[in-house]
Structure 1
């Protein structure tokens, strides 16, 4: 593999079939790199327990693999229809010698959010890291195409669930624990056809600062990662085949990112390596500035 960041991963995704619903890695023609063959752990999360929402695929799977190889037991939440991907993630976590708790269900359900934390604590013995990663991406070509139900669902999944999960998890978290949220470059660049999605991501970035101010005095750090265009199952749902073929080519690096390229940031923010980081948003955008 070349070390040149411009060519170290695929630069285009031709003939990728579009998907509906929540999207599956199992149905992607060009499979994402989740770090299956590359991530090497250093024991940075040994003995820890992490809950990762959207842990079945994409960034969530890459984080689950990395955390397991760093020594953490992992719980993953996902939608029922994503079971085939969740089983693949579980296999990689267990191959690393760690436990993997599968927690299917819909994050829009407030009781499910509470149950996720309760089951993680009960079955894995606690919770040290909460990764709020699951998201619904909406595309709107104009204000007249914004569907009210879809908009409310996006905020329920992307924002309200994060608050509910943090509320439920914090009482179980000891000093040294961490919350890592997934925001997006869209919180700053706000593409005109993604106004609802961008609004949810802007809320997450602000929420991250507020939660940090609230929880840092208790020794719980809260940070966020802001991905750019990343090759995950969300892309074949939201974008046309033409857009998929050139995904990420307008970034300074000239290509889309892979989930494996995000995982080290999540490890940093969850581990002692990031002990003086709280309230930060770490950009992993292929060079797109978001400051």
Structure 2
């Protein structure tokens, strides 16, 4: 049984995990790694909290060293770093605004200096700003949403790719909204649809180099993006519309990212895996 969500709201995106009640569940204590990512180096944007934190911890359990990139959530990032190091792996924590291409180049430069390689790139950062009508989406919001959710994926991929070798993997976080739409998240849903196309096209482009590109499309997940996006009343009903009648917890997505990052998925590229509480999404 998962905890019920208390009515709550945060005024700033992408939100702070340590303020949430209850806290998201980032780690399954029964998950024991088996060396699937032993001594790999993974880069995870939005790795401080939510899905990114859960993926970071799971990767560390599988033997990877990780670099997490985040905007300004220093306390959340410190907690993620602490847990990775407690698991015996190295964690490089980098704050930066990935809406700008020079940030990605600087981030990868720091990672190469620290670790000497990049084996896995997880593009995961995102914002969402619900609006009742497309007429309420300002030019500034539209550009911010696309720069955060989509442009950063391009920038990070372009910066990391020269250091990736045959067998490397790129994983992009899409969304169920790419397939179903969401009437109050028109710009967000549009970026997620673009991420699906980006993933498929990138996989074709990189196939000859032996680098795989896939995506994960989550449904409603209890992350800081939820209380920082929706009203306190809407937060309480998160996930009720899914067949499973509940929201997911971040740790429930982590094994999917492990699968796509590891050799278990060596014959899988250009695909989107759906982790959404039973919603049947057309692929």
TM-score by length of 1: 0.95
In structure 2, the partner of 1:53 is 45
Offset, 1:18? 3.6
- The 8 Å contact of residues 9 and 230 in structure 2, kept in 1 or not, is answered as no
Offset, 1:20? 2.3
* Residue number among 171, 178, 192 corresponding to 2:183 in the alignment: 192
Q: Does residue 145 of the first structure (1) align with residue 136 of the second (2)?
A: yes
TM-score by length of 2: 0.97
- The 8 Å contact of residues 36 and 92 in structure 1, kept in 2 or not, is answered as no
- The 8 Å contact of residues 41 and 64 in structure 2, kept in 1 or not, is answered as yes
* Residue number among 211, 227, 231 corresponding to 1:240 in the alignment: 231
Q: Does residue 114 of the first structure (1) align with residue 81 of the second (2)?
A: no
Distance in 2 (alpha carbons) for counterparts of 1:15 and 1:204: 31
In structure 1, the partner of 2:202 is 211
In structure 1, the partner of 2:14 is 22
Deviations 1:138-190 (A, max 9, x none): 21110221011111011111111111111111111111100000000000111
In structure 2, the partner of 1:3 is none
In structure 2, the partner of 1:4 is none
- The 8 Å contact of residues 112 and 118 in structure 2, kept in 1 or not, is answered as yes
- The 8 Å contact of residues 98 and 148 in structure 2, kept in 1 or not, is answered as yes
Classify the secondary structure of the residue corresponding to 1:113. helix
Classify the secondary structure of the residue corresponding to 2:228. helix
Offset, 1:22? 2.4
The answer for unaligned runs of 5 or more in structure 2 is none
Give the CA RMSD over aligned residues. Answer: 1.1
Aligned residues: 282
In structure 2, the partner of 1:165 is 156
* Residue number among 26, 34, 45 corresponding to 2:26 in the alignment: 34
In structure 1, the partner of 2:2 is 9
